[in-house]
Chain A
């Protein structure tokens, strides 16, 4: 509590705003639709078994599950962050809120925290479904083709969960990035489109990374270097192939990716706050 007549930055207020944001997202149709779609696809993956039994089927389910989590999670991150931000601006509810003793930074961080919580819920549920599906399938495979499991279970469940956690971090970075863009943008659609473009760039950023190494010098090289520094390299989170192949994730790699994500998250959040402080609402 701050002294009477003063206001200090408050985590409690951020929490209150985040709670409202979660409530809004959950009461919207989009969240439910994406969640059911993703979970349904993962659960249905085992029905697509025109494959030979054994490790390749488990690999398929894992791959397919990771794909569903990544695809729908990315859509959810961009669309909810932009949508929940613009809902406040366009419906002018931000006016009422910011006329209270609330810092603009608290507003932005509250929105972000709400979106991050929604994304955690999404990743938690979908990863949970994936683990359950893999487990059940592995159980029955172990009964029918025991010779494939001579050295124990094939699925690295810990790594599947770690993959989920890393995806959540990536989605949070995407949400923060969308908030930066939304802070500049005038419309929801515009910020959604630009955000998806940026996400695409982040996925392909490693190409720029490789090219500046090969380039001799000049404008091209500088541009490629800048591109590589400004946009995070989303391949850093791309540990899914190894997990699907039944390999455990190296904790050092995991920690490195997490630190990398956290760094970009902090930078994007600071930028989002900075941009929003200057915005006229």
Chain B
């Protein structure tokens, strides 16, 4: 055993070409990517459509073979089946066996993952409740909405209590309220000490969730770092003041000048449309006692 625990995911020099025709025309989906996902963090894999996020994830999960390079999960090569013992995966645009009910689906995956028979029922009910689908658990998946599919997908991903979760665009096509609920679940996973890898092309959304991000473009890594480091503007601070009139503002400006600081801008703080939508719609849903509201034990929502 080495002293340093291996990273949750390591990707070394990964290149993946897809063969497009028999004449050998290829498209390079991932280009010499090197990346490490430290354990215990929420990691955002960002980039425009077609930048190679899903392909990277599939190689890491051993679903497709790399053209060059290697990948590992907790130090175990992706080619080995045992590398997937500690992973839960929610594919992009998830689609599950439509002829099953939500509970049947989660039970199936729990059995595939070898969840103890004695605990099976309890565990399945537990995760279905956790994602807020208790009332829909016996409905066929063909009747589920997009947001519900994402959540049942999350339930099957966590059912065997893996240490790492890989979520490919978990909020794509989901409305802001649903997205916020999924965001909340991700933060709860992080609070439980799980590593979460999250891919998205909606940057604003993941900013609130991720500790670290990597940005891909055309299969190449263009930027990687801690979110706080990346988004805080160094050497600048913002004050939010109530009851500031024009003369006080003049005084403040003079006072700051005297200390060698400069008042760069005075603006009205803005909330986001996203937040307004969420607050209004969520209020109404709670008033209607919507079955999709997240369960108890969730203080606050993501910033």
**A binding-site residues for B, Cβ under 8 Å:** 1, 5-7, 12-13, 16-17, 20, 23-24, 27-28, 91-93, 95-103, 280-281
Residue picked from A91, A96, A281, most chain B C-beta under 10 Å: A96
Question: A27–B142 Cα gap in the complex (Å)?
Answer: 13
Interface residues of B in 140-177 (CB under 8 A from A): 153, 156, 160, 166
Q: A24-B99, A100-B112 are in contact. List 19 more A-B contacts (CB 8 A).
A: A7-B81, A7-B85, A91-B97, A92-B91, A92-B94, A93-B97, A95-B89, A95-B91, A96-B91, A96-B153, A97-B109, A98-B61, A98-B62, A98-B63, A99-B84, A100-B109, A100-B113, A102-B84, A280-B65
Q: Closest A-chain residue to B74, C-beta based?
A: A5
Scoring B residues 84 to 97 as 1 if CB is less than 8 Å from chain A, else 0, what string do you get? 11010101011111
- A96: chain B residues within 8 A (beta carbon): 89, 91, 94, 96, 109, 153, 156
Q: B112's contact among A28, A91, A102, by CB below 8 Å, is which? A: A102
Contact between A91 and B95, CB atoms less than 8 A apart: yes
- A16: chain B residues within 8 A (beta carbon): 108, 111-112
- Residue B82 at the chain A interface, CB threshold 8 Å: yes
- B61: chain A residues within 8 A (beta carbon): 98-99
Q: B82's contact among A12, A93, A98, A101, by CB below 8 Å, is which? A: A101
Residue picked from B65, B93, B113, B114, most chain A C-beta under 10 Å: B114
Q: Closest B-chain residue to A96, C-beta based?
A: B91
**B binding-site residues for A, Cβ under 8 Å:** 58, 61-65, 81-82, 84-85, 87, 89, 91, 93-100, 108-109, 111-114, 153, 156, 160, 166
Contact between A7 and B156, CB atoms less than 8 A apart: no
Q: Closest A-chain residue to B160, C-beta based?
A: A100
Contact between B91 and A101, CB atoms less than 8 A apart: no
Question: A28–B94 Cα gap in the complex (Å)?
Answer: 21
Residue picked from A16, A100, A102, most chain B C-beta under 10 Å: A100
Which 4 A-B pairs rank lowest in CB-CB distance, beginning with the nearest? Answer: A99-B89, A27-B99, A7-B82, A101-B84
**Which label, helix, strand, loop or mixed, suits the secondary structure of the B interface?**
loop
- B100: chain A residues within 8 A (beta carbon): 20, 23
In the assembled complex, 21 residue pairs joining A and B whose CB atoms fall closer than 8 Å, in A order, are A7-B82, A12-B114, A13-B114, A20-B97, A23-B99, A24-B97, A95-B89, A96-B153, A96-B156, A97-B109, A97-B112, A98-B61, A98-B62, A99-B62, A99-B84, A99-B166, A100-B113, A101-B84, A101-B113, A280-B63, A280-B64
Question: A5–B156 Cα gap in the complex (Å)?
Answer: 20
Question: A97–B160 Cα gap in the complex (Å)?
Answer: 13
Q: Closest B-chain residue to A278, C-beta based?
A: B65
Q: A101's contact among B81, B93, B111, by CB below 8 Å, is which? A: B81
What's the minimum C-beta distance from A101 to chain B, rounded to whole angstroms? Answer: 5
Contact between B82 and A103, CB atoms less than 8 A apart: no
- A1: chain B residues within 8 A (beta carbon): 114
- B160: chain A residues within 8 A (beta carbon): 100
Contact between A13 and B112, CB atoms less than 8 A apart: yes
- B153: chain A residues within 8 A (beta carbon): 96
- A20: chain B residues within 8 A (beta carbon): 97, 100, 108
Contact between A17 and B64, CB atoms less than 8 A apart: no
Residue picked from B81, B94, B100, most chain A C-beta under 10 Å: B81
What's the minimum C-beta distance from A51 to chain B, rounded to whole angstroms? Answer: 44
Q: Closest A-chain residue to B99, C-beta based?
A: A27
Question: A220–B91 Cα gap in the complex (Å)?
Answer: 51
What's the minimum C-beta distance from A105 to chain B, rounded to whole angstroms? Answer: 10
- B89: chain A residues within 8 A (beta carbon): 95-96, 99-100
Q: Closest B-chain residue to A104, C-beta based?
A: B81
Question: A95–B160 Cα gap in the complex (Å)?
Answer: 17
- B64: chain A residues within 8 A (beta carbon): 280-281
What's the minimum C-beta distance from A108 to chain B, rounded to whole angstroms? Answer: 14
Question: A123–B108 Cα gap in the complex (Å)?
Answer: 27
Residue picked from A6, A280, A281, most chain B C-beta under 10 Å: A280
Contact between A103 and B81, CB atoms less than 8 A apart: yes
Question: A210–B166 Cα gap in the complex (Å)?
Answer: 58
